[in-house]
């Protein structure tokens, strides 16, 4: 095929969704050679007797009565149901060094892993190993460590509650809280911000609230690509007359117009207008923007008081439910407009418009994604958003509330099950009591700190339950160095990825079932449970035959690994494998909110794990919804880099294309942004192209400005003129992860600042 023709830039002018969405899904199914018999899989997605879609954590309507088409879901399911296989022959044909030459896209194309493999130094190849020998090898390494804190146990967010529970129990009985997880790279800022303000780090809304909201503010999210089913809710809200605001440096497709594949009339017409207002902060400008809106709300209340009008603040809520409002108001009053405007990159008129829209709303939902969580001051920004909603009592009532929109389909459930490097004493106390042991109390390592520890030799064994740690994390060369410094790396995976190739001295690949596959055990096919982004817990049953007879379920792998390491002391590990409802009985005993788990989850649609904040019970130290004062950061790595480099300094965000799932590259298009056949592109404002002395289409190398003297670069990116604020750049990850310094992290949450990297551009050395 003519490669040049495929590589093109062509702005997308249709509404998001629509027939193109169906087309793109069909192409994926054909490309993956998904057998026709498996198409029915798609219809079982999110059905009462089907499986929970591995695509994202957006909830389903009553775990639905009708099939809800979703491009993201189709791609995720097709990627798992693919007919392609990465069997032992593949590894016999290629050395690891040869596989390393392949792109992430090519690695993904090999298909599903089929049997356990162990790295062989002599031949630089992965060779088959028996399951028993694999577990024995893990046990040998783990038992040899002088301190259990020398091992780290990564969890990606597709793992079921049942597996996650067993996994954390195993790891804590082994003796560590070293649980780096994908959350650390994702919504950790939400998980750390919200407990301090409203007591729980989860959404206070359920889907039904979207039917009652009159105003919905969407911060830093690209739902057309990442949560397409969310657009059906926004569409319905827009049709009812609700006001939807998008707060995003980019005017993302789908947040403007959406043609729902669910509604044939939409496909024929021009779709539905979603957002009536676009507020476009500079990258990382949200804290200042939201603080500005809060300041304006306070001023509008002052004005109402002055003329004896209706109060803008919800005085009853503030009085009964909140603590710290006076200090918060005093801080808002002293904040300078000039600073807020400069830091947010939003003109006063737009701050005013957003404030007035917010104040007009009687029931306001704020949703957010990675645009809010992956900056240095993300925790402060999310707390400011919580403050803003609290000012008008928009938490814990119909149609209103906080809604962090999580990514991986069970990332929230995994945390609930105890995949947490900083577990609460209450959680550990209960585990201690149920299993009669003293769990480790010392906080463990998160994702970034695990990389530091592996580099320093403090962690020697890395076990990854899903995910692609090597590519999902920042500072790629340093992360590679870290993983290669391990004595053993173990990856429990469905498909081949770079984390298998960047390995320790000893290395294992343990292939596993995906959620769409039938998990047949002694007592019959097993269901597993997940918790979605709005705290609904439900059962999921796979329906496809396993990709290979040699696959074990994640639960089985976890139980056998635990058995090999710990024996049958406190827990009879293997006894749980035959019947997962027995694990749910253990969860019911051990984790708050899961009483009578099996019975409750058996009901169609499952149950809501209602967070106290939704009921206006505040699990904060003050027992109230807590206003939190945070100051505008004035001295930051970006401000320092700008002082040094002036206007040449640009700020880069790294996000997803339409054809990728995190580090999994399905194909090379990002059609909503008009990018085809390529990924090494850099979105940039036309004025910046000219100002920096380039032309659109030029190739540049990107360099990070950081204080440690190390060179961080990513080469050969094509400049694409784009409607993005001046001074800001957009590119895709994982290609740009080498640019993110390991110590460029959000305060408190330690999340890499994937959306604000200070960089300089140079004409590419090789064009
Ligand atoms: N198809 C598909 N679906 C997915 C995924 C996938 O990779 N592919 N990943 C899953 C996962 S794990 C997650 S976490 C979610 C991620 O879903 P999103 O949260 O939508 O993640 P991103 O693609 O990183 O997009 C971030 C958005 O934030 C905006 N943004 C960037 N910086 C800022 C800022 O400073 N302020 C504001 N206000 N906005 C900003 C960007 O323009 C972009 O629209 O999607 C999940 N669903
Ligand atoms: N620069 C930059 N970096 C980022 C982000 C960003 O916006 N910018 N986003 C971050 C975010 S939000 C996240 S969540 C992380 C994602 O980080 P991860 O969760 O680590 O990465 P994924 O790409 O989702 O993992 C894909 C791999 O998971 C395995 N897999 C898939 N399904 C299953 C399963 O059911 N079981 C098992 N055992 N394995 C499975 C497959 O082998 C596949 O190759 O990346 C983060 N990294
Ligand atoms: Mo995520």
- 370 Cα nearest atom in ligand 1: 19
Give per-residue pLDDT as tens, 444-490. Answer: 999 999 999 999 999 999 999 999 999 999 999 999 999 999 999 99
Q: Is 222 in the pocket of ligand 1 (CB under 6 A)?
A: yes
The secondary structure of 169-215 as a DSSP string is: HHHHHHT-----BGGGGTTHHHHHHHHHHTS-SS-S--HHHHHH-SE
pLDDT score of 3: 44
Q: What mean pLDDT comes out for the span 96-114?
A: 97
Query: Per-residue pLDDT for 63 more than 60?
Result: no
Task: Specify the pLDDT at position 489.
Answer: 99
For residue 734, cis peptide bond before it (omega within 30 degrees of 0): yes
pLDDT of residue 128: 98
Q: Which two tokens stand for residue 273?
A: 């207008």
At residue 283, the pLDDT reads 98
Cα 272 to its chain centre, rounded Å, is 27
Residue 103 pLDDT: 97
Query: In this structure, which ligand is nearest to the CA of 714?
Result: 2
**Pocket probe mutation, ligand 2, options 79, 404, 494, max atoms within 8 Å of Cβ:** 494
Q: Are 379 and 312 in contact (CB under 8 A)?
A: no
Query: Is pLDDT of 265 > 90?
Result: no
Going by alpha carbons, the residue nearest to atom 14 of ligand 1 is: 407
Task: Judge whether residue 45 has pLDDT over 80.
Answer: no
Give the orientation angle of helix 425-435 with respect to helix 580-590, to 10 degrees: 120
CA of 56 from ligand 3 middle (Å) equals 9
pLDDT, tens digit, 9 for 90 and up, residues 392-429: 999 999 999 999 999 999 999 999 999 999 999 999 99
pLDDT band at residue 51 under the 50/70/90 scheme: confident
* Range(s) within the chain of domains with CATH label 3.40.228.10: 189-407
Residue range 480-501: mean pLDDT, rounded: 98
Instruction: Give Cα 11 distance to the centre of its chain.
Output: 27
Angle, alpha carbons 9-10-13 (nearest 5°): 150
In angstroms, what is the span from residue 408 Cα to ligand 3's centroid?
Answer: 6
| Residue 25 pLDDT class (50, 70, 90 cuts) | confident
CATH architecture of structural domain 637-763: Beta Barrel (2.40)
Rounded Cα–Cα distance for residues 443 and 478 (Å): 24
753 C-alpha to ligand 3 centroid (Å)? 13
Gap between the Cα atoms of 172 and 182, Å rounded: 19
- Residue 679 and residue 6: Cα distance in Å, rounded? 12
- Give distance in angstroms: CA of 70 to centre of ligand 1: 17
Give the Å distance between the CA of 406 and the centre of ligand 3.
6
> Which residue's CA is the closest to the ligand 1 atom numbered 10?
407
Angle between helices 378-391 and 188-197 (to 10 degrees): 40
User: From the CB of 261, is ligand 1 less than 6 Å away?
Assistant: no
Residues 528, 167: Cα–Cα separation, whole Å:
14
The ranges of the chain annotated as CATH 3.40.50.740 are: 85-182+419-511+551-579
Long-range contacts of 134-140 (CB under 8 A, 24+ apart): 134/508, 134/510, 135/560, 135/561, 135/563, 135/564, 136/564, 137/488, 137/506, 137/508, 138/463, 138/488, 138/490, 138/508, 138/561, 138/564, 138/565, 139/561, 139/564, 139/565
State the pLDDT confidence band at 27, using cuts at 50, 70 and 90.
confident
Q: Comparing C-alpha atoms, which of 162, 28, 14, 26 is closest to residue 573?
A: 162
Give residues whose Cβ lies within 5 Å of ion ligand 3.
186, 407
Which residues sit opposite 365 in a β-bridge?
A: 216, 401
CB contact set of 475 (below 8 Å; sequence gap of 6+):
451, 712, 737, 738, 740, 741, 742
* Closest CA relative to residue 473, chosen from 744, 99, 742: 742
85-182+419-511+551-579 CATH pick, 3.40.50.2300, 3.50.50.60, 3.40.50.740, 3.40.30.10: 3.40.50.740
Distance 662 CA to ligand 1 centre (A): 10
Q: Does ligand 2 have an atom closer than 6 angstroms to the CB of 731?
A: no
Question: In angstroms, rounded to a whole number, what is the distance separating the alpha carbons of residues 231 and 258?
Answer: 7
Per-residue pLDDT at 1? 39
Structure tokens at 291: 């603080």
Q: Is 186 in the pocket of ligand 2 (CB under 6 A)?
A: yes
Pairwise CA distance, residues 223 & 370, whole Å: 11
Q: Which two tokens stand for residue 235?
A: 């569409």
Q: Which among 461, 2, 402 is positioned nearest to 213, based on CA atoms?
A: 402
Percentage of the chain beyond pLDDT 70 is 97
More confident residue, 365 or 34: 365
pLDDT at 469: 98
Tell me the CATH number of domain 189-407, given options 3.40.228.10, 3.40.50.12780, 3.40.930.10, 3.40.50.280.
Answer: 3.40.228.10
Residue-level pLDDT at 2: 40
Span from the CA of 181 to the centroid of ligand 2 (angstroms): 10
Give 264 or 143, the one with higher predicted confidence.
143
Query: b vs e for 244-275, b when ≥16 Cβ sit within 10 Å of the residue's Cβ?
Result: bbbbbbbebbbbbbbbbbbeeebbeeebbebb
pLDDT at 48: 67
Query: Is 320's pLDDT higher than 50?
Result: yes
Q: For ligand 2, what atom is nearest to the CA of residue 736?
A: 1
pLDDT in tens, 201-237: 999 999 999 999 999 999 999 999 999 999 999 999 9
CA of 140 to the centre of ligand 1 (A): 41
511 lines ligand 2 (CB under 6 A): no
Mean pLDDT of the chain: 95
Q: Residue 428: its pLDDT value, please?
A: 98
Asked if 167 and 153 count as a contact pair (C-beta separation under 8 A), the reply is yes
Q: What is the pLDDT of residue 707?
A: 95
Q: Take atom 28 of ligand 2 and give the residue whose Cα is closest.
A: 467
Query: For ligand 2, is residue 495 a contact (CB within 6 Å)?
Result: yes
Residue 433, burial from CB neighbour count under 10 angstroms (0-12, 13-18, 19+): exposed
pTM of the model: 0.97
What pLDDT, on the 0 to 100 scale, is given for residue 717?
98
pLDDT at 32: 86
Q: Which of 81, 109, 185 to mutate to test the pocket of ligand 2 (most atoms within 8 A of CB)?
A: 185
Instruction: Kindly state the tokens that stand for 582.
Output: 């027995």
What pLDDT digit, counting tens, does each position of 356-400 carry? 999 999 999 999 999 999 999 999 999 999 999 999 999 999 999
Compute the distance from residue 57 Cα to the ligand 2 centre, in Å.
13
Q: Is 193 in the pocket of ligand 1 (CB under 6 A)?
A: no
Helix axes 18-31, 71-81, angle to 10 degrees: 0
CATH code 2.40.40.20 region(s) in the chain = 637-763
Which residue from 468, 528, 733 has its CB within 8 A of the most atoms of ligand 2, so it is best to mutate? 468
- 620-673 tens-digit pLDDT: 999 999 999 999 999 999 999 999 999 999 999 999 999 999 999 999 999 999
What lies within 8 Å, CB to CB, of 567 at 6+ separation is: none
Separation CA 369–CA 221 (nearest Å): 5
**Minimal-distance CA residue to ligand 2 atom 23:** 663
Residue 5: pLDDT band (50, 70, 90) is low
């Amino acid at each position: 095929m003519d490669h040049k023709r495929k590589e093109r830039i062509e702005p997308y002018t249709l509404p998001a969704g629509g027939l193109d969405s169906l087309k793109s899904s069909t192409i994926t199914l054909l490309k993956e050679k998904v057998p026709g018999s498996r198409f029915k899989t798609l219809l079982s997605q999110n059905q009462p007797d089907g499986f929970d879609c591995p695509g994202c954590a957006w909830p389903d309507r009553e775990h639905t009565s009708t099939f809800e088409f979703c491009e993201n879901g189709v791609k995720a399911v097709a990627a798992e149901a693919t007919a392609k296989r990465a069997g032992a022959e593949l590894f016999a044909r290629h050395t690891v060094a040869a596989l390393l030459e392949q792109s992430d896209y090519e690695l993904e194309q090999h298909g599903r892993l089929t049997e356990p493999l162990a790295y062989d130094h002599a031949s630089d190849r992965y060779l088959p190993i028996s399951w028993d020998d694999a577990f024995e090898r893990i046990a040998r390494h783990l038992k040899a460590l002088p301190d259990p804190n020398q091992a780290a146990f990564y969890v990606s967010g597709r793992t079921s509650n049942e597996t996650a529970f067993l996994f954390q129990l195993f790891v804590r009985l082994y003796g560590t809280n070293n649980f780096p997880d994908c959350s650390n790279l994702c919504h950790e800022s939400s998980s750390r911000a919200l407990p301090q303000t409203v007591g729980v780090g989860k959404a206070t809304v359920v889907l039904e609230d979207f039917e009652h909201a009159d105003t919905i503010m969407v911060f830093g999210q690209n739902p057309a690509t990442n949560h397409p089913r969310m657009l059906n809710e926004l569409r319905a809200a827009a049709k009812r007359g609700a006001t939807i605001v998008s707060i995003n440096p980019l005017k993302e497709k789908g947040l403007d117009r959406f043609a729902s594949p669910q509604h044939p009339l939409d496909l024929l017409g021009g779709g539905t207008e979603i957002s009536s207002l676009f507020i476009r902060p500079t990258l990382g400008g949200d804290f200042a923007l939201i603080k500005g809106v809060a300041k304006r709300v306070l001023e509008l209340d002052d004005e109402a008081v002055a003329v004896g009008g209706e109060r803008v603040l919800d005085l009853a809520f503030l009085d009964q439910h909140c603590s710290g409002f006076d200090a918060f108001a005093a801080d808002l009053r002293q904040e300078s407009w000039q600073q807020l405007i400069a830091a947010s990159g939003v003109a006063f008129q737009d701050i005013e418009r957003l404030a007035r829209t917010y104040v007009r709303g009687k029931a306001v939902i704020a949703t957010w994604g990675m645009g809010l969580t992956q900056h240095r001051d993300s925790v402060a920004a999310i707390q400011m958003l919580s403050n803003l909603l609290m000012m008008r009592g928009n938490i814990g009532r119909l149609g209103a509330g906080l809604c962090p929109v999580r990514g991986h389909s069970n990332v929230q459930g995994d945390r609930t099950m105890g995949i947490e490097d900083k577990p609460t004493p209450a959680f550990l106390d209960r585990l201690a009591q149920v299993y009669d042991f003293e769990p480790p109390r010392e906080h463990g390592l998160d994702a970034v700190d695990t990389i530091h520890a592996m580099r320093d030799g403090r962690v020697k064994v890395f076990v990854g339950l899903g995910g692609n740690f090597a590519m999902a994390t920042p500072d790629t060369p340093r992360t590679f160095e870290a993983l290669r410094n391990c004595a053993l790396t173990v990856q429990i995976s469905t498909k081949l990825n770079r984390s298998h190739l960047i390995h320790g001295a000893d290395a294992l690949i343990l292939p596993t079932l995906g959620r769409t596959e039938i998990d047949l055990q002694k007592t019959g096919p097993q269901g597993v449970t997940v918790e979605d982004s709005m705290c609904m817990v439900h059962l999921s049953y796979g329906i496809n035959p396993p990709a290979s007879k040699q696959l074990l379920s994640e639960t089985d792998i976890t139980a056998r690994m635990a058995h090999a390491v710990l024996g049958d002391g406190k827990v009879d590990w293997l006894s749980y494998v035959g019947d997962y409802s027995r694990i749910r009985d253990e969860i019911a005993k051990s984790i708050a909110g899961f009483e009578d788990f099996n019975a409750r989850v058996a009901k169609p649609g499952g149950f809501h794990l209602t967070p106290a904040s939704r009921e206006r019970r505040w699990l904060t130290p003050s027992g109230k919804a807590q206003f939190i004062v945070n100051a505008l950061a004035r001295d930051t790595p970006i401000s320092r880099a700008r002082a040094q480099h002036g206007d040449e300094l640009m700020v880069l965000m790294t996000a997803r294309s339409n054809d990728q799932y995190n580090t999994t590259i399905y194909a090379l298009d990002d059609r909503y942004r008009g990018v085809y056949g390529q990924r090494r592109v850099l979105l940039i404002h036309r004025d910046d192209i000219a100002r920096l002395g380039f032309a659109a289409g030029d190739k540049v190398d990107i360099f990070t400005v950081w204080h440690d003297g190390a060179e961080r670069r990513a080469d050969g990116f094509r400049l694409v003129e784009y409607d993005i604020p001046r001074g800001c750049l957009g590119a895709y990850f994982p290609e740009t992860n080498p640019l993110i310094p390991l110590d460029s992290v959000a305060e408190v949450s330690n999340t890499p600042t994937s959306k604000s990297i200070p960089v300089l551009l140079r004409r590419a050395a090789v064009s």
